Amino acid sequence: MQTLEELRSGKLKGTKELKISQDLSSFPVEILDLVDSLELLDLSNNRLSSLPKEMSRFKKLKIAFFSNNDFTTVPTELKECENLYMLGFKANKIENFEEDILPLSISWLILTDNKIKKLPNSLGKLSKLQKCALAGNQIEVLPSSMKECKNLELLRLSANRLREIPSWLLELPKLSWLAFSGNPCSISKQSHIKVMAHSDVDVKELLGEGASGKIYRGHAKDIDRVVAIKLFKGAVTSDGYAEDEMNAYMSIGEHPNLIKVLARFENSKPLGLVLEYIPSSFVSLGNPPNFDTCTRDTFEDGTAFSVEAIKKIAKAIASASKHLHKIGLNHGDLYAHNILVDKENSTYLVDFGAASFYDIKNVNYEKVEVRAFGSLLDDLLTLCDERDEELENLRDRCMSEDVESRPLFDEVLATLSNASKE
């Protein structure tokens, strides 16, 4: 993080990245001195509501964040930033999104937690769009022009006012990660589960934190066992409402590759769940995407997988996914960074923040997730020195841009089970 004082002193001349959070109410004109070098601009957590017309001069700008500011409209001043591929206005007060105001270079658009009611038809012109976060708005319908977004892979629509998920959306050739809970068209399920009071559990150390909440180690007194406790933050996240995530957790039932939900807290604020405790020997299979990979996970340098390991992990995830889709639950975030493994490649699929219930009569929801599974296979095979034609063929079928031709998880699991026997 840099300061306004450093900027004004000239110390930052030629910088490629600028991050300033100092309760700014107006755009610092000194930033215009960086037009020949600036590639990343982050003015999040200020009080900005407009941008200067000179923004068009930033021809090298690739990434721009203006989260947690006071914008009421998506600014028109960025249209001529021809190399801008990532743009974020999360948690502003945006109501208006006009036509043809974004550069066609955009591949990653973040408008989470605003007040947008209508999307422009010109979104369909964003042919490079891969990742689009629109959760927590007031959107009632998706413009049909978005069927032209052939490269769209990840879409977050939760916590809006959508009356339907259009059929053309599920037919997009690369769509893999979809979240749509918390809409009028969403199917809501209530599950009966054991109830605990906060006093029934001793909360210990923090184990981890995600977008929707924090996870602690704890001890459940009545069953005398170590447990994990997830306490939800309650706010709208990039994936949707905490309550929808909690309902998804409580509906998954039991499966050897899913963490068991033991109880929920009674009338708790914040909302909370008591989960099976997973030993620290389990670690994330991968890391989340970065600015360069956009929709694809990243892995630590030196990470490598054997064909045997890939088959075991893939079989476990396919089995868990089959189980979820049998009850009409789309995980929505099927990624390596949401998979826990140990040294023996025992496997858990975790994190239901993006999970959404759907009508199981429409198999295309499952086929969208099958493409995410294919991407997971592709990531693991890329880090494998061995060749396995059967796994490669399965990956290709799962990632087919012809949605109709993709297998369902029943067939995926059967293929992997046969491969494991050979």
User: Rg of the chain's alpha carbons, rounded to an integer?
Assistant: 22
Q: How many helices (H) and strands (E) does the chain have?
A: 6, 19
The verdict on residue 14 lying in a domain is no
Other beta carbons within 10 angstroms of residue 312's beta carbon come to: 19
Does residue 343 sit within a domain? yes
Report the CATH number that the domain containing residue 224 is assigned in CATH: 3.30.200.20
Read off the CATH number of the domain in which 385 is found.
1.10.510.10
Asked whether residue 410 falls in the same domain as residue 291, the answer is yes
Per the domain annotation, does 221 fall within a domain?
yes
Partners of 218 in the β-ladder: 203, 227
Of 276, 295, 316, the residue at which a domain comes to its end is 276
Q: Residue 257 belongs to what domain range?
A: 195-276
Do 300 and 385 share a domain, yes or no?
yes
* Residue 328 belongs to some domain of the structure: yes
Domain co-membership, 333 together with 372: yes
Q: Positive or negative CA dihedral for 399, 404, 409, 413?
A: negative
β-strand pairing of 40-42 with 63-65: parallel
Tally the domains of the chain.
2
Residue 163 forms part of a structural domain: no
**Residues 242, 367 within the same domain:** no
Same domain, 292 and 415: yes
CA 118 to chain centre: 22
Residue 359 covered by a domain: yes
Whether 391 and 406 share a structural domain: yes
Biggest CA–CA distance in the chain, Å, is 68
| Structural tokens at position 357 | 């219930």
- Give the number of other CB atoms < 10 A from CB of residue 150: 13
Name the domain boundary from 276, 299, 323. Answer: 276
For CA atoms 356, 357, 363, 364, give the dihedral sign. negative
Which of 276, 304, 335 represents a domain boundary (last residue)?
276
300 shares its domain with 388: yes
| Distance, CA of 206 to CA of 411 (rounded, Å) | 40
- All residues at 6 or more sequence positions from 112 whose CB lies less than 8 Å from its CB, including other chains: 90, 91, 133, 134, 135, 136, 137, 156, 236, 237, 238
pLDDT tens-place values along the chain, 422 residues long: 999 999 999 999 999 999 999 999 999 999 999 999 999 999 999 999 999 999 999 999 999 999 999 999 999 999 999 999 999 999 999 999 999 999 999 999 999 999 999 999 999 999 999 999 999 999 999 999 999 999 999 999 999 999 999 999 999 999 999 999 999 999 877 777 889 888 899 999 999 888 788 999 999 998 899 999 999 887 788 888 888 999 999 999 999 999 999 999 887 677 899 999 999 999 999 999 999 999 999 999 999 999 999 999 999 999 999 999 999 999 999 999 999 999 999 999 999 999 999 999 999 999 999 999 999 999 999 999 999 999 999 999 999 999 999 999 999 999 999 876 65
Same domain for 272 and 293, yes or no, is no
Say if residue 289 is in the same domain as residue 272.
no
My answer on whether 320 and 366 are in the same domain is yes
Q: 365 and 265 share a domain?
A: no
Structure tokens at 368: 């969208």
What is the rounded CA–CA span in Å between residue 36 and residue 90?
27
Same domain, 287 and 392: yes
Its pTM stands at 0.95
